[in-house]
């Protein structure tokens, strides 16, 4: 999976989503960081070129610590991004086309810093111009906290690396203790969201979650659910279709796009209720396999299916490899059926 992090200035990436970057890198994802400006305003005593050299070197060092695969500098004017949206979007476009990211991190539109706010329309224009499928846009917080969040990342295990990465931006830490500020913020987030010792939170920008209500996203169960969908994106290729028993279809679809999520039972493209019995479930499974479904995914709210439809479970277990089974999800790979001489028949 490709991940793009857009930072208005060097250090925003480490402060806002340094933990998430580490976790992506550790999962084997390719992370590219794009710095819209090289932060000359943060070193006003130096010439622009000298300031760029210092801050870009710091950004590269932070990238190494976080596990970033590629670092790009667009050198747009620091403090004046609002007046530069067209040119900045033009410079960003080829990187979007090259990386074709599935997830994109950016600052949020309520940030007090004008460059951070301007980043939102820059990214939107660049995604549109690039003609790529819209990635999941995740807004991060730098010094202005998000008033609402949709997802939480427990970063306890990578907090030390995040701290090192932020401190790699030495020229900035000398002026302001960003490290103390975000450590307190990440601590606060972990308590509020009940996620480990330190946590980062993100808000989904763009349309992908518009169908999911805010009360639903504020529920602590939502974050477990979100983690489950992240596992789906790791297992199931982007071009694949998978069967999802139960009613969570609209929520899951929004989070795993462009993977196609097939309701089960399905009729006319929508959810059509539970199967009457094992035989009906098996018949429907085979019908969906023939029309291209390559996986079936049970999330924790539908684990009871595997008890209740015991014959269906047996059918799945005998014929298809179970590629993930934990407290969040159970996934069977339907692409290759094992030959079975005995067992249930549809």
Contacting residues for 229 by C-beta, under 8 A, at least 6 apart: 252, 255, 256
Contacting residues for 108 by C-beta, under 8 A, at least 6 apart: 116, 120, 139, 140, 141, 144, 146, 203, 205
Q: How far is the CB of 8 from Zn ion (least distance, A)?
A: 5
For Zn ion, the closer CB: 169 or 203: 169
H helix or E strand, kind and range, residue 23: helix 12-26
Q: Residue 265 is encoded by which pair of tokens? A: 């039972």
Distance CA 240, CA 335 (A): 11
Which residues within the stretch 10-69 sit at the binding site for Zn ion (CB under 5 A)?
Answer: 12
Pick from 12, 54, 53, 48: nearest CA to 33: 12
Q: How far is the CB of 113 from Zn ion (least distance, A)?
A: 6
Q: How far is the CB of 24 from Zn ion (least distance, A)?
A: 21
Count of residues of this chain found to bind Zn ion when the rule CB under 5 A is applied: 3
Q: How far is the CB of 54 from Zn ion (least distance, A)?
A: 16
For Zn ion, the closer CB: 122 or 299: 122
Q: With binding defined as CB under 5 A, does residue 162 bind Zn ion?
A: no
Torsion of CA 332, 336, 338, 344, to 10 degrees: 60
Binding pattern to Zn ion, positions 190-229, x when CB under 5 A?
----------------------------------------
For Zn ion, the closer CB: 13 or 154: 13
Q: Considering only the stretches 4-12, 74-82, 286-294, 308-316, report the one whose residues sit in contact with Zn ion under the rule CB under 5 A.
A: 4-12
Query: Which residue is nearest to Zn ion, using beta carbons?
Result: 9
For Zn ion, the closer CB: 7 or 199: 7
Binding pattern to Zn ion, positions 70-89, x when CB under 5 A?
--------------------
CB 248 within 8 A of CB 221: no
Q: How far is the CB of 11 from Zn ion (least distance, A)?
A: 7
Write out the DSSP string of 125-194.
HHHHHHTPPPPEEEEE-SSS--SS-SEEEE-GGGHHHHHHHHHH-HHHHTTS-HHHHHHHHHHHHHHHHT
Torsion of CA 110, 23, 219, 256, to 10 degrees: 90
- State which of residues 3, 4, 6, 9 lies at the interface with Zn ion (CB under 5 A): 9
Q: Considering only the stretches 5-13, 25-33, 42-50, 228-236, report the one whose residues sit in contact with Zn ion under the rule CB under 5 A.
A: 5-13
Q: For the chain, what's the residue count?
A: 346
For Zn ion, the closer CB: 8 or 67: 8
Q: Considering only the stretches 3-11, 167-175, 265-273, 283-291, report the one whose residues sit in contact with Zn ion under the rule CB under 5 A.
A: 3-11
For Zn ion, the closer CB: 19 or 245: 19
Q: Considering only the stretches 2-10, 93-101, 196-204, 317-325, report the one whose residues sit in contact with Zn ion under the rule CB under 5 A.
A: 2-10
Please give the order of strands across the beta sheet that includes 241-245: 260-264, 241-245, 293-299, 329-333, 322-325
Look-up: residue for tokens 């401190």?
A: 167
- Whole-Å CA distances, 150 to 87, 93, 144, 273: 31, 27, 16, 28
For Zn ion, the closer CB: 4 or 296: 4
Q: How far is the CB of 122 from Zn ion (least distance, A)?
A: 13
Applying CB under 5 A, the residues found at the interface with Zn ion are 8-9, 12
């Amino acid at each position: 999976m490709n991940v793009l992090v857009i930072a208005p200035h060097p250090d925003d990436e480490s402060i806002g989503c340094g933990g998430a970057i580490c976790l992506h890198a550790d999962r084997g994802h390719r992370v590219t960081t794009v710095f819209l400006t090289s932060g000359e305003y943060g070193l006003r005593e130096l010439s622009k070129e000298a300031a760029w050299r210092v801050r870009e070197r710091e950004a590269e060092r932070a990238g190494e610590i976080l596990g970033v695969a590629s670092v790009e500098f667009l050198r747009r004017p620091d403090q004046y991004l609002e007046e530069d949206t067209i040119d900045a979007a033009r410079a960003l476009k080829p990187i979007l086309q090259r990386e074709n990211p599935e997830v994109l991190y950016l600052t949020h539109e309520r940030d007090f810093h004008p460059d951070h706010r301007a980043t939102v329309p820059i990214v939107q224009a660049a995604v549109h111009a690039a003609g790529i499928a819209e990635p999941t846009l995740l807004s991060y917080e730098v010094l202005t906290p998000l008033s609402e969040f949709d997802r939480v990342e427990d970063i306890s295990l990578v907090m030390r690396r995040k701290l090192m990465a932020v401190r790699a931006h030495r020229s900035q830490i000398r002026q302001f203790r960003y490290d103390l500020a975000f450590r307190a913020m990440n601590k606060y987030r972990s308590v509020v969201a009940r996620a480990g010792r330190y946590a980062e939170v993100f808000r989904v920008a763009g349309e992908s979650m518009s169908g999911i209500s805010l009360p639903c996203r504020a529920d602590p169960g939502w974050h477990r659910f979100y983690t489950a969908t992240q596992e789906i994106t790791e297992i199931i290729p982007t071009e694949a279709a998978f069967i999802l028993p139960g009613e969570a279809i609209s929520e899951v679809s929004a989070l795993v796009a462009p993977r196609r999520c097939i309701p089960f039972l399905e009729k006319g493209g929508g959810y059509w209720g539970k199967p009457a019995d094992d035989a009906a479930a098996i018949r429907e499974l085979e019908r969906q396999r023939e029309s291209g479904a390559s996986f079936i995914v049970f999330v924790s709210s539908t684990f009871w299916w595997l008890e209740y439809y015991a014959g269906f479970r047996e059918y799945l277990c005998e014929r298809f490899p179970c590629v993930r089974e934990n407290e969040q999800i159970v996934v069977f790979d339907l692409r290759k059926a094992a030959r079975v001489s005995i067992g249930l028949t549809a």
